[in-house]
DNA sequence: CGTAATACG
């Protein structure tokens, strides 16, 4: 089974750029998109279709902002949008699919904002979601979390760690939440397999950053400890264009 | 700089 995550930074922008063309080549079983920045009524029915997938959209209430969509080949046992907490759910950040062996969460974690204004909301979101994961783990369930975490975990996860210690995305109080997830029964699948690799998944559109590879690793797969032996590979598709993020795939053994 | 609506990342 192959799962691919991609922060599209505007579903309509990706359509305009014809930038979904890589999908048949990568051929994921599930596609997790973040920052769709659209509702279904802003595009045609045809534009929402990605063959041969079926899609679930969870847009934010606010126009042109945030939002997630998950496309799958094989129908999950069930699916839910949000986590039942109003002030988080209105931003369309969460879609959960239930498969026989695990829950798959597609999540667009909050950005800390200009002047770190939204860091408190972001930290609350990490906290609330970890509690949900704790409950599921306590029930013996396995979980795969993927999406844009909006935080680089360690110095190895961004090109310029020193100069970003006071910027959202690399604040100590944000990074410690990734530590907490790992302490609560998750593995960072990419880092487990590639402890020394310096590869990024996001580059600002400014300053020619992508060409110069001045980036951050913000898009992760956190998998329950018990699932780690089923992880065959994690692939960062650095060459796939169309957004300021690149797609990342998780390949699971059956 | 880019996406999208006048803010946000």
The pLDDT assigned to A118 comes to 97
Q: Tell me the β-bridge partners of A191.
A: none
Longest alpha-carbon distance in chain A: 47
Tokens matching residue A178: 């990734």
Identify, with chain letter, the residue nearest to nucleotide B5 (CA–C1'): A64
The pLDDT assigned to A133 comes to 98
> Which of A41, A37, A49, A45 shows the shortest CA–CA distance to A12?
A37
Prior bond to A52 cis, omega within 30? yes
The pLDDT assigned to A55 comes to 98
The pLDDT assigned to A82 comes to 97
Please report, rounded to whole angstroms, the spatial distance between the CA atom of protein residue A133 and the C1' atom of nucleotide B5: 35
* Nucleotide with smallest C1' distance to residue A63 CA: B5
Q: Is A101 a known active-site residue? A: no
Calpha distance A174→A152 (Å, rounded): 9
A87 marked among binding-site residues: no
Averaged over successive runs of 10 residues, the pLDDT of chain A (254 residues) comes to 98 97 98 98 97 98 97 98 95 98 98 96 98 98 98 98 96 98 98 98 96 97 98 98 98 95
Neighbours of A54 (CB within 10 A): 13
A41 marked among binding-site residues: no
Q: What is A2-252's CATH number?
A: 3.60.10.10
Tokens matching residue A119: 């860091």
Q: Is A245 a known active-site residue? A: yes
Residue A130: φ, ψ to 5°? -65, -35
Instruction: Parse chain A into domains and list their residue ranges.
Output: 2-252
Active-site choice (A99, A148, A181, A200)? A148
The pLDDT assigned to A254 comes to 86
* Nucleotide with smallest C1' distance to residue A15 CA: B3
A7 marked among binding-site residues: yes
Tokens matching residue A109: 């974690």
pLDDT tens for each residue of A6-61: 999 999 999 999 999 999 999 999 999 999 999 999 999 999 999 999 999 999 99
Q: Is A148 a known active-site residue? A: yes
């Amino acid at each position: 089974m192959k799962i691919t995550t991609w922060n599209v930074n505007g579903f309509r922008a990706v359509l305009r750029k014809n930038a979904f063309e890589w999908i048949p080549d990568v051929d994921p079983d599930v596609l997790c998109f973040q920052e769709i920045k659209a509702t279904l009524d802003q595009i045609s029915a045809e534009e929402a279709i990605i063959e041969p997938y079926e899609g679930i959209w969870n847009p934010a209430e606010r126009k042109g902002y945030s939002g997630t969509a998950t496309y799958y080949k094989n129908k999950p046992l069930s699916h839910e949008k949000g986590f039942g907490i109003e002030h988080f759910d209105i931003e369309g950040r969460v879609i959960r699919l239930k498969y026989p062996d695990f829950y798959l969460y597609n999540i667009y974690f909050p950005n800390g904002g200009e002047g770190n204004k939204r860091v408190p909301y972001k930290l609350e979101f990490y906290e609330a979601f970890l509690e949900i994961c704790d409950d599921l783990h306590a029930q013996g369930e396995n979980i795969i979390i993927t999406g844009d975490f909006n935080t680089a975990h360690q110095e190895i996860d961004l090109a310029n760690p020193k100069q970003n210690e006071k910027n959202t995305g690399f604040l100590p109080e944000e990074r410690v939440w990734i530590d907490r997830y790992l302490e609560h029964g998750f593995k960072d699948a990419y880092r487990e397999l590639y402890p020394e690799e310096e590869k990024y998944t996001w580059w600002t559109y400014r300053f020619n950053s992508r060409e110069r590879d001045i980036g951050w690793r913000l898009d992760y797969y956190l998998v329950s400890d018990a699932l780690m032996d089923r992880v065959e590979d994690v692939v960062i598709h650095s060459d796939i264009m169309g957004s300021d993020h690149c797609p990342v795939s998780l390949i699971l053994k059956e």
